[in-house]
């Protein structure tokens, strides 16, 4: 028999320290010889990212930190290569952004030169080509950002191509005769439209570069070569990111017609969503946001086989080698696992797993819900109910509304220890995949074009109204939290609605015009599609900015900001802090030295989670158990 207790005050075994210690993030598996490597970000080591070997364990000793800062968001920061029987690790070191190389157990040595103090050089998307490293280089010189495909060796750096502003997915054909990549220009974002280019490789140089797929209104991703020179790639030409091919004669074919996504928003460089096997089959992942599966595709027959697994979400960072496939995945009970798939039998085994810090009996069972707006359109969300094996609510539960960042991104129906921090204390969590989110096709993704600050806000309120109408949550105890673009929606909702008892903004956008004039290159034209051109549409920027309407703020607000944030500078959070001071609104402002756009240090994570929970307890009149 469960005991009744006031929601929010349930004793929870999950502490903020546990969140920080168990918050290791694992991605990017690579097959290196007969070994498998992946990377791991460890908050307990000041957010350091290192490479882990299945056979040898940790490959990078402190203080080495494998983290590229290209596009400010980074991505895959290392490459494993077997050369003359030795396994070599190439990686980009965070502190100086130079490429280094080391043998297993060796000391890293620099590959790229020291750059002038007034310049920044960054690298990503490394591949090995005839003793050189070919990759994307990003240069910052006198405030101007340029990018190029370059070849790096002990002889120096050669420019292979510099005709585009953005590059990704650099892939060499199996016979070494052709190179492919995707590219795009301002003001496009990679989910709006990209081009796939192919160039001939002759004597280590590129010639005859040509566009073979994509355009301003077609997002192409992840090109991979087949043995016969066929190029396989992902395109949303059909309205969904599906699998396509392009043969050597230039004929395109839509291989699998599927109303689910195979693609992904390209926030990080290095994603790999499809892999071509030696027998011509394709290893990939696809499906809805709450039920993705690994698949094997027969391109000739245009058929696919789903690989059985208890996991329901897979990161687009798959790898193949030695007859096996590898992918990181999660589920409602699994934080993260690296599974190995026998590509003949399609049987899978777990070779690495992130162990949860508490027993599974405390986990909620997340599931997708839909709400219907007044205009009849559906809004999607993932609900994580309040859950505890020993307690049930003595009254209706508070609701924590989570707004994901991006805004071009989406949330999954998988276990989140951050959400469990709330659900184990008696607070339900709903993660809103508002219009503009990925995972639901291009039409849904495009709903945010020109309407950022309207559609996201309205969709959040539609979900809240739906849950209140069901009678499952307390209408007077609705909370909202979000980071970056999610923080923007949090602030916008709070100044335009009386629904919410309190909010938490993590490095949220407060002033759209200030963001347009003071952000990094990758997103510097993003607002063109989300709001309008600046300064031509300056009135729209003013109208959509939460700061413009801050005089209407009445809800208590807790704000978190990294002082090294280059994406949303601290001035954005400080402006809302000042409004709270002027109006006498209950608030807290937490600024973190050494943190950027997202917190990586254990100390920052602990402070933020505990402060946020205490703040809600003060607002909603409960005493939280924070350990």
- Higher-pLDDT residue of 627, 89: 89
Task: Give residue-wise pLDDT tens across range 276-323.
Answer: 999 999 999 999 999 999 999 999 999 999 999 999 999 999 999 999
Write down the H helix ranges in 74-133. Answer: none
Which is nearest to 407 in space by CA: 451, 464, 370, 465? 451
Which is nearest to 550 in space by CA: 488, 496, 512, 619? 496
Residue 387 confidence (pLDDT): 95
Residue 588's CB is within 10 A of a number of other CB atoms, namely: 17
Confidence of residue 566 (pLDDT cuts 50, 70, 90): confident
Residue 409 pLDDT > 90: yes
- Give the burial class of 248: count Cβ atoms within 10 A of its Cβ; 0-12 exposed, 13-18 middle, 19 or more buried: exposed
Residue 249 pLDDT > 80: yes
CB contact at 8 A, 330 and 337:
yes
From CA 492, how far away is CA 503, in angstroms rounded? 11
CB contact at 8 A, 41 and 47:
yes
Residue 163 pLDDT > 70: yes
Residue 22 pLDDT > 90: no
Q: At 496, phi and psi to the nearest 5?
A: -125, 10
Residue 1 confidence (pLDDT): 81
Q: What is the mean pLDDT of residues 352-380?
A: 95
Task: Give residue-wise pLDDT tens across range 310-355.
Answer: 999 999 999 999 999 999 999 999 999 999 999 999 999 999 999 9
From CA 212, how far away is CA 207, in angstroms rounded? 15
Residue 24 pLDDT > 90: no
Q: To the nearest whole number, what is the mean pLDDT of the chain?
A: 96
CB contact at 8 A, 347 and 362:
no
Percentage of the chain modeled with pLDDT above 90: 94
605-614: Cβ within 8 A, 24+ apart: 605/16, 605/19, 605/20, 605/23, 605/43, 606/16, 606/17, 606/19, 606/20, 608/506, 608/560, 609/16, 609/19, 609/418, 609/421, 610/16, 611/558, 612/481, 612/504, 612/558, 612/560, 613/421, 613/422, 613/425
3-state secondary structure of 581: helix
Residue 216 confidence (pLDDT): 97
Task: Give residue-wise pLDDT tens across range 583-596.
Answer: 999 999 999 999 99
CATH class label, 3-16+358-620: alpha beta
Pairing of strands 282-286, 303-307: unpaired
H or E element, residue 542: helix 538-544
3-state secondary structure of 33: coil
Residue 36 confidence (pLDDT): 98
Residue 25 pLDDT > 70: yes
From CA 456, how far away is CA 437, in angstroms rounded? 9
Residue 11 pLDDT > 70: yes
CB contact at 8 A, 133 and 111:
yes
Residue 627 pLDDT > 80: no
pTM: 0.95
Asked if residue 63 has a cis previous peptide bond (ω within 30° of 0), the answer is yes
Residue 518 confidence (pLDDT): 85
Asked if residue 187 has a cis previous peptide bond (ω within 30° of 0), the answer is yes
Task: Show the 3-state SS of 193-255.
Answer: CCEEEEEEEECCEEEEEEEEEEECCECEEEEEECCCCCEEEEECCCCCCEEEEECCCCCEEEC
In Å, what is the CA distance from 107 to each residue of 52, 89, 101, 131? 16, 11, 8, 20
Confidence of residue 519 (pLDDT cuts 50, 70, 90): confident
Q: What is the mean pLDDT of residues 396-406?
A: 97
Pairing of strands 397-403, 473-483: parallel
Q: What is the mean pLDDT of residues 236-247?
A: 98
| Alpha carbon of residue 198 to chain centroid | 27
Task: Give residue-wise pLDDT tens across range 212-240.
Answer: 999 999 999 999 999 899 999 999 999 99
Confidence of residue 42 (pLDDT cuts 50, 70, 90): very high
Q: Strands, E, within 247-302: which ranges?
A: 252-254, 274-276, 282-286, 293-298
Q: What is the mean pLDDT of residues 156-180?
A: 98
Give counts: helices (H), strands (E), the chain.
10, 39
Task: Give residue-wise pLDDT tens across range 482-497.
Answer: 999 999 999 999 999 9
Task: Give residue-wise pLDDT tens across range 73-116.
Answer: 999 999 999 999 999 999 999 999 999 999 998 999 999 999 99
Q: What is the mean pLDDT of residues 177-203?
A: 98
Partnered with residue 348 across adjacent β-strands are: 341
Question: Residues of 494-528 as b/e, b for ≥16 C-beta within 10 angstroms?
Answer: bbbbebbbbbbbbbbbbbbbbbbeebbbbbbbbbb
What is the residue-wise DSSP string for 315-351? -SB-EEETTEEEEEEE-SS-S-EEEEEETTT--EEEE
Residue 62 confidence (pLDDT): 94
Confidence of residue 500 (pLDDT cuts 50, 70, 90): very high
């Amino acid at each position: 028999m469960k005991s009744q207790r006031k929601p929010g005050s349930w004793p929870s075994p999950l502490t903020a320290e546990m969140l920080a210690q168990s918050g290791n993030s694992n991605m990017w598996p690579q097959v290196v010889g007969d070994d498998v490597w992946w990377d791991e970000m460890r908050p307990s080591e000041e957010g350091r990212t290192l490479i882990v070997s299945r056979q040898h364990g940790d490959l990078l000793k402190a203080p080495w930190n494998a983290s590229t800062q290209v596009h400010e968001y980074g991505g895959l920061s290392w490459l494993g290569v077997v050369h003359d029987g030795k396994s070599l690790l190439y990686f980009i070191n965070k502190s100086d952004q130079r490429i280094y190389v080391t043998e297993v157990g060796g000391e890293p040595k620099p590959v790229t030169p020291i750059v002038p103090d007034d310049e920044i050089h960054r690298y990503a998307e490394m591949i090995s080509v005839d003793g050189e490293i070919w990759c994307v280089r990003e240069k910052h010189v006198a405030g101007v950002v340029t990018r190029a495909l370059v070849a790096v060796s002990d002889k120096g750096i050669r420019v292979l191509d510099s005709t585009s502003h953005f590059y990704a997915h650099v892939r060499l054909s199996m016979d070494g005769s052709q190179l492919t990549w995707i590219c795009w220009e301002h003001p496009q974002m990679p989910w709006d439209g990209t081009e796939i280019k192919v160039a001939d490789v002759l004597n280590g140089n590129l010639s005859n570069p040509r566009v073979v797929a994509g355009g301003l209104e077609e997002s192409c991703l992840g090109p991979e070569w087949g043995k016969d020179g066929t190029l396989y790639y992902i395109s949303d030409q059909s309205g969904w990111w599906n699998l396509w091919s392009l043969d050597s004669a230039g004929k395109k074919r839509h291989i699998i017609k599927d109303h689910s996504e195979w693609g992904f928003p390209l926030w990080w460089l290095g994603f790999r969503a499809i892999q071509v096997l030696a027998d011509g089959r394709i290893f990939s992942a696809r499906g809805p946001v709450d039920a993705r599966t690994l698949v094997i595709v027969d391109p000739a027959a245009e058929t696919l086989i789903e690989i059985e697994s208890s996991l329901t979400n897979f990161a687009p960072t798959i790898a193949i080698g030695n007859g096996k496939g590898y992918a990181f995945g999660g589920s409602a009970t699994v934080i993260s696992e690296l599974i190995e798939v026998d590509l003949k039998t399609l049987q899978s085994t777990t070779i690495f797993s992130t162990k949860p810090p508490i027993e599974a009996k405390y986990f909620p069972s997340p599931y997708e819900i839909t709400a219907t707006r007044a205009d009849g359109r559906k809004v999607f969300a993932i609900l994580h109910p309040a859950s505890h094996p020993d307690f049930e609510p003595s009254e209706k539960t508070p609701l924590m509304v989570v707004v994901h960042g991006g805004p071009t991104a989406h949330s999954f129906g998988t276990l989140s220890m951050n959400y469990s921090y709330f659900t184990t204390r008696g607070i339900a969590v709903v993660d809103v995949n508002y219009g503009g989110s990925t995972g639901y096709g291009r039409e849904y993704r495009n709903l945010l074009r020109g309407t950022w600050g309207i559609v996201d806000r309205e969709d959040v309120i539609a979900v809240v109204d739906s849950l209140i109408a069901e009678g499952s949550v307390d209408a007077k105890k609705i909370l909202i939290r979000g980071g970056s673009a999610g923080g923007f929606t949090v602030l916008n909702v709070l100044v335009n609605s009386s629904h919410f008892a309190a909010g938490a903004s993590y490095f949220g956008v407060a002033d759209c015009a200030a963001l347009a004039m003071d952000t990094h290159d990758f997103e510097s034209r993003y607002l063109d599609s989300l709001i309008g051109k600046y300064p031509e549409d300056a009135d729209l920027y003013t109208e959509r900015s939460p700061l413009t309407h801050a005089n209407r703020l009445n809800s208590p607000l807790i704000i978190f900001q990294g002082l090294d944030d280059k994406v949303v500078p601290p001035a954005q959070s400080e402006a809302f802090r000042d409004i709270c001071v002027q109006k006498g609104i209950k608030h807290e402002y937490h600024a973190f030295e050494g943190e950027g756009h997202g917190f990586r240090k254990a100390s920052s994570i602990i402070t933020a989670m505990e402060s946020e929970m205490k703040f809600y307890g003060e607002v909603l009149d409960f005493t939280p158990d924070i350990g």
